[in-house]
Amino acid sequence: SYARVLRAEGIRPGDRIAIYMPMIPETAAVMLAAARIGAVHCVVFGGFGWEALRERIADSGSRVVLTASEGRRGGRAVPLKAVVDRAVAGLSSVERVLVVRHGDTPVAMTESRDRWMADAERESSAVD
């Protein structure tokens, strides 16, 4: 479950996370998981650019950002993960970026920071 993933990432009640995802079922699941463990979650509209996203991540002090590889707006693919990469550059509060694979956009992953949500789910369920 996404709650198990967030707990495995060290998220505890009162910790802050940012959610920058398109309108896909995983978005609702992530919000419910955050609420379940008591994490304060800042949902950022997927149409915002990197500057607006950066302000919200910095203002909230989010430790984890959840996003998708891409979203769709007006029939076009929007590279959400690339927007997150630009937004979190140099932000010391962000420890992890969890990425839901959505669409075909190639995604650059920063090894020490980024994880595919599917991999994190597999690893967290193997611990139980």
The pTM of this model reads: 0.93
Averaged pLDDT, 95-103: 95
Averaged pLDDT, 94-123: 94
In tens, the pLDDT along 35-89 reads 999 999 999 998 899 999 999 999 999 999 999 999 988 888 899 999 999 999 9
What's the confidence (pLDDT) of residue 73? 85
What's the confidence (pLDDT) of residue 68? 96
What's the confidence (pLDDT) of residue 127? 60
Tell me the DSSP string of 14-49.
T-EEEEE--SSHHHHHHHHHHHHHT-EEEE--TT--
For the chain, state the CA radius of gyration: 13
What's the confidence (pLDDT) of residue 47? 86
